[in-house]
Copies of this chain bind each other. A is one copy, B any other.
Amino acid sequence: MTDALDTLEHDNLGSTVYHLLCNALIQGKLKPGERLKIRELAARLGTSVTPVRDAILRLVQEQALAMKSARDIRVPHMTVARYLEIRAIRIKLEGLAAEMAAQNASAEQIALLEELVRQNEQAIADGDTARGCDLNQRFHFALVDIAGMPFLQGILYRIWLQMGPLIADVYGAGGDDMLDFHYPVLAAIRAHDGPAAARAISDDILCGGQVILQHLQAAELTASARQTSAAGGED
């Protein structure tokens, strides 16, 4: 899953650091707004700055990190506009993946999907949100994998990288019903009904992401309110 992007890539220290940071982002260990320092990371990881710089540059390139000014590298904040754009893209691309997956899926692959859903149910029952979050993501990527579209997998991995810090923040609030939308997907894939699978994934992204969108909208509202009151207070 982690090395979805570089199946053929030569393994160097930079890649290792890159994957390390990717996992940290996806697992929400890096919060939006948090600053990263190359020297500090290098010291922590026991390498020189070069591989860390390589990794950070790669993440900046794909906008998983933002370099606001020359020496200010941060985990970017998600905006509502950006989220809506990404959501529209995800519906198209994950819809495509689900459609192809429905066409291709073998019995073993369907069993794998069922197993993921089952484990997710268990994680929710255990109240293990981190594991639930991870399993939710694995389900989505299993679809791309079954679709047999490695290039698409790379694109989607980069997209999920963007949403990692966000999802980890919000998942606990209302992530429990996120799993519900996976059942129609599973049903459509069992029936090898591509269009139905695409619609089901679309529902999952729209409804499951509703909590995230509300969280973002609330955050932008309080931010603008703070700004207004601050401007008023300073006057």
Contacts and interface: CB of A to CB of B under 8 A. Distances in A.
Interface of A: 5-6, 8-10, 14, 54, 57-58, 60-63, 66-70, 82, 85-86, 88-89, 92-93, 95-96, 149-152, 154-155, 158
Given A54-B57, A57-B58, A61-B58, A151 B10 contact: no
Contacts of A57: 14, 54, 57-58
10 contacts: A8-B68, A54-B54, A58-B58, A63-B151, A89-B96, A89-B149, A89-B152, A92-B92, A92-B93, A93-B93
- Residue from A57, A66, A95 whose CB has the most chain B CB atoms within 10 Å: A57
Contacts of A68: 8
A10 B70 CA distance: 6
Number of copies of this protein chain within its complex:
2
B5 A61 contact: yes
Contacts of A82: 151
Contacts of A67: 8-10
Contacts of A96: 88-89, 92
Given A57-B58, A89-B96, A8 B155 contact: no
Contact of A85 (B10, B54, B85, B149): B149
A32 to B, nearest CB: 15
A152 B85 contact: yes
Given A57-B57, A57-B58, A61-B61, A8 B93 contact: no
Contacts of A6: 61
A151 B89 contact: yes
A154 B69 CA distance: 20
A150 B86 CA distance: 10
A9 B76 CA distance: 12
A96 B91 CA distance: 10
